Amino acid sequence: MQRIPILLFVSFISFNCASLKTTQEAKPHLSTGLSNPLEHDTYPELTERNRLMGQLSPERTCYNVSNYDLNLDIDVENKTISGYNMITALAINDFSQLQIDLGEDMKIDRIEYDDNILQYTRNKDAVFVEFPTMTLGTEFSFTIHFNGTPRVAPRPPWDDGFVWDKDKAGRDFIAVTSEGLGASHWWPCKDHISDEPNSMSINITVPSELMCISSGQLKEINELENGKTEYRWFVNNPINNYNISVNIGHYAVIKDTIHSLGEVRDATYYVLDYNEEVAREHFKEARNVIRALEHYFGPYQWWDDGYKLVQAPYLGMEHQTAVTYGNGFRNYDKSKSRNIYGFIDYITLHETAHEWWGNSITACDPADVWIHEGFGTYSEVLYVEYLMGYDLSIDFLLQKRKHIGNKKAIVGPRNQNYWGFSDAYAKGAWIIHTLRNVIDDDELFFATLKGFAVDNAKGIVCTEDVRDYFSDKTDIDFTKFFDQYLFNRKVPILEYAQENGKFYYRWVDGINGFDMPINILVNKSEIRIYPEKIAQSIDIPEYATVELKDWEYLIIKKENSSLLPGSVISSSN
């Protein structure tokens, strides 16, 4: 396809304040290979580990965690960790046994409750702890002492574990990621995405020549007698377990301010000391990122815990209030596959967007992680629209279309620790864009989008909650839409034909009852049609030019002359 010609003069960039769609001009035809492949992928076989990690069994639903108090000593030389986690929780039901999680390679020294040592059994990463009978409404605390050699990350942040690296000066540079594997690979917790503590203390001891950065506010730095230093961080908000990280290195501290909805807020950037000058300039872009994201999604929820960018020895991750960054201070990612026209760093933008989508609004199950990644990816599109207008944002969105596979449904099996990353990013973003154009009212769409983010802030949501909210606020039933796009792998195909002043059309590869309306251009005038499985037609001027607006909908278009009168209509369903 011919892309829209673009001339960028970055020095003249100015904010557009989210310009609404203003043009109805035909865009170039798409030629990105979007298809519904005959061969489909299968979901992973359910393992015992994932069963125990993914299910909300009675041993997990019997209590809610309210606070973690994590204390760790990190032995950098030997690449080991030791410490304890005091867990404060509320009994939701009567119980005498609960499940906590800790990687099976990590050792448990003891579990204490009320000055007693508790008995426990282990199965994979699950730890079943025997309690005296606890009754509904009881608040209780217990402490797990543990130690071990944590897993080394083969390919962070996609394949998790500790990263024991060296910086360019040959000094220790350490971090950890946990999203897919689970935080319990290095510290004991109730490792299910749906249960977040209300607050958390993160107290990390490291060699004194190093600095440790984590989520929340830095409350204390304690110099110890053994050549080590303890950094005490406190998170004053709900937080996903996988968002807890430690970042250890020779950091310089950069202070900045960000204008947020009429207030001036503090931001802090931690970078390796030899990168201080370049980072001070590069991270100024965070000001615009926060401004744009608050415009679309409402207030940043964590100002009492701060906003930090922290240099890490991997590409980046959305660790809450301590977004990790490893993209080389360049306005594209290292693979050069996600160029955003040279005016924003993909990692700064995408990972900060997760402070709304993933951190504030959290999926109820890993199978629903498209809520994090689809909205996070569409945040990139909206950022381009905010700065440079709708047409350029469409060009950017079209680039993502080639990454859509349609080999399995985005929302896969729940309660199995299945992280539904397949198609969650690009297809997820295109689904939201399609939703926007089905609503066909940008003022209503953006009000609903922001309303959802604000009304569900610091909450847990499922795919059905997104569906129901948009249905309620727009008075459009999106049940079939979500069934088609989220719970079914195939993209609907619009078959069409044109002859003698008639335009014929129907949906193919749609689920039963799928009747999504779309807008088309007839001689550049917009008309809304309502395709169904049964072929229909509308009158148009003879020899009219008809343009299917597939830059506004995630659809496949296919000309089919058998739709014409006198033809035998073939069935593609």
Domain ranges in the chain? 10-46+356-485, 69-86+151-352, 493-563
With 50 as the cut, is the pLDDT of residue 5 above it? no
pLDDT value, residue 161? 98
Whether the pLDDT of residue 6 is over 50: the answer is no
Mean pLDDT on 50-60 = 97
393: left (phi over 0), alpha (psi -120 to 50) or beta: alpha
Which helix or strand (DSSP H or E) is residue 7 part of?
none
The pLDDT score that the predictor gives to residue 40 is 84
Select 493-563's CATH number: 1.10.3470, 2.60.40, 2.50.20, 2.60.120.
Answer: 2.60.40
Given a cut of 80, whether residue 489 has pLDDT beyond it is yes
What pLDDT sits at residue 12? 31
Tokens 């310009």 correspond to what residue?
Answer: 19
Taking only the tens place, the pLDDT of each residue in 371-389 is 999 999 999 999 999 999 9
Evaluate if residue 343 carries a pLDDT over 90: no
pLDDT at 570 over 90: no
pLDDT reading at 472 higher than 70:
yes
What number of CA atoms fall less than 13 Å from residue 453's CA on the CB side? 25
426 by DSSP, 3-state: which? helix
Chain mean position to CA 274: 31
Mean pLDDT score across all residues of the chain: 92
Convert the pLDDT of each residue in 413-445 to its tens digit.
999 999 988 899 999 999 999 999 999 999 999
Measured CA to CA in angstroms, residue 24 lies from 50, 521, 539 at distances of 49, 8, 20
Question: For residue 14, is pLDDT > 50?
Answer: no
CA distance 492 to 174: 46
Query: What pLDDT, on a 0 to 100 scale, did the predictor assign at position 7?
Result: 31
Percent with pLDDT over 90 in the chain:
87
Q: What is the pLDDT of residue 13?
A: 37
Radius of gyration of the chain (CA): 26
Q: Which of 33-42, 166-175, 431-440, 530-539 has the lowest mean pLDDT?
A: 33-42
What per-residue confidence (pLDDT) applies to 330?
Answer: 87
Secondary structure of residue 28 in the 3-state scheme: coil
Residue 339 has pLDDT above 90, yes or no: no
Helix and strand counts by DSSP (H, E) for the chain: 11, 29
Q: Are 538 and 503 in contact (CB under 8 A)?
A: yes
Angle CA(562)–CA(567)–CA(570) in degrees, nearest 5?
Answer: 45
DSSP conformation class of 275: G
Q: Rounded to an integer, what distance in angstroms lies between the CA atom of residue 186 and that of residue 102?
A: 7
Strand stretches in 358-426, DSSP E = 361-363
Quickly tell me which residue has 């059905």 as its tokens.
464
For the chain, the first-to-last Cα distance in angstroms comes to 28
Residue among 244, 345, 352 nearest 297 (CA):
352
Residues 6+ apart with CB under 8 A from 226: none
Phi, psi of 107 (to 5 degrees): -95, 140
- What is the rounded distance in angstroms from the CA atom of residue 481 to the CA atom of residue 484? 5
Judged against a pLDDT cut of 50, whether residue 189 lies above it is answered with yes
Over range 332-348, report the average pLDDT: 69
Determine the pLDDT at residue 9: 30
pLDDT category of residue 498 using cuts at 50, 70 and 90 = very high
CATH superfamily of 10-46+356-485: Neutral Protease Domain 2 (1.10.390.10)
pLDDT band, very low/low/confident/very high, at 283 (cuts 50, 70, 90) = very high
Rounded to an integer, the average pLDDT of 25-44 is: 69
pLDDT of residue 19: 47
> Sorting pLDDT into bands at 50, 70 and 90, what band is 569?
low
Q: Do 121 and 96 meet the contact criterion of CB atoms below 8 Å apart? A: no
In angstroms, rounded to a whole number, what is the distance separating the alpha carbons of residues 216 and 237?
Answer: 9
Q: What Cα–Cα distance (Å) separates residue 483 from each residue in 238, 296, 477, 510?
A: 31, 26, 11, 10
Check residue 39 and give its pLDDT.
78
Centre a 10 Å sphere on the Cβ of residue 38 and count the other Cβ atoms it contains: 5
Lowest mean pLDDT among 7-11, 208-212, 225-229, 463-467: 7-11
pLDDT, average across residues 140-158: 98
Q: d(Cα 259, Cα 288) in Å, to the nearest integer?
A: 9
At 500, the amino acid letter reads N
- Interval 358-362 mean pLDDT: 99
The Cα–Cα gap between 112 and 110 comes to 6
Q: Is the pLDDT of residue 370 over 60?
A: yes
Grade residue 32 by pLDDT with cuts at 50, 70 and 90: low
d(CA 279, CA 255): 11
**Range 60-80 average pLDDT:** 99
**What would the pLDDT profile of 83-122 be if each residue is shown by its tens digit?**
999 999 999 999 999 999 999 999 999 999 999 999 999 9
Place 29 in a pLDDT band, splitting at 50, 70 and 90: very low
Residue 448 has pLDDT above 80, yes or no: yes
Whole-number Å distance between alpha carbons of 367 and 514: 23
Give the pLDDT band (50/70/90) at residue 362: very high
Above 60 in pLDDT, residue 78? Answer: yes
CA-to-CA distance for 405 and 144, rounded, in angstroms?
Answer: 44
Give residue-wise pLDDT tens across range 190-244.
999 999 999 999 999 999 999 999 999 999 999 998 999 999 999 999 999 999 9
Q: Is 41 exposed, middle or buried (0-12, 13-18, 19+ CB in 10 A)?
A: middle
Strand partners, 271: 252
Architecture (CATH level 2) of domain 69-86+151-352: 2-Layer Sandwich (3.30)
CA atoms within 13 A on the CB side of 419: 15
Q: Which residues pair with 72 in a beta bridge?
A: 83, 204
Query: What pLDDT sits at residue 567?
Result: 64
Residues 255-266: tens digit of each pLDDT: 999 999 999 999
What pLDDT score does 16 carry? 46
pLDDT digit string, tens, across residues 291-334:
999 999 999 999 999 999 999 999 999 999 999 999 999 886 54
Q: Over the stretch 526-567, which tens digit does the pLDDT of each residue have?
A: 999 999 999 999 999 999 999 999 999 999 999 999 999 876
Cα 31–35–37 angle (5° rounding)? 145
In percent, the amount of the chain with pLDDT more than 70 equals 91
**DSSP line for 285-318:** HHHHHHHHHHHHH---TTTTT--EEEE-SSSEE-
d(CA 458, CA 302): 10
Q: Please tell me the predicted confidence (pLDDT) of residue 11.
A: 32
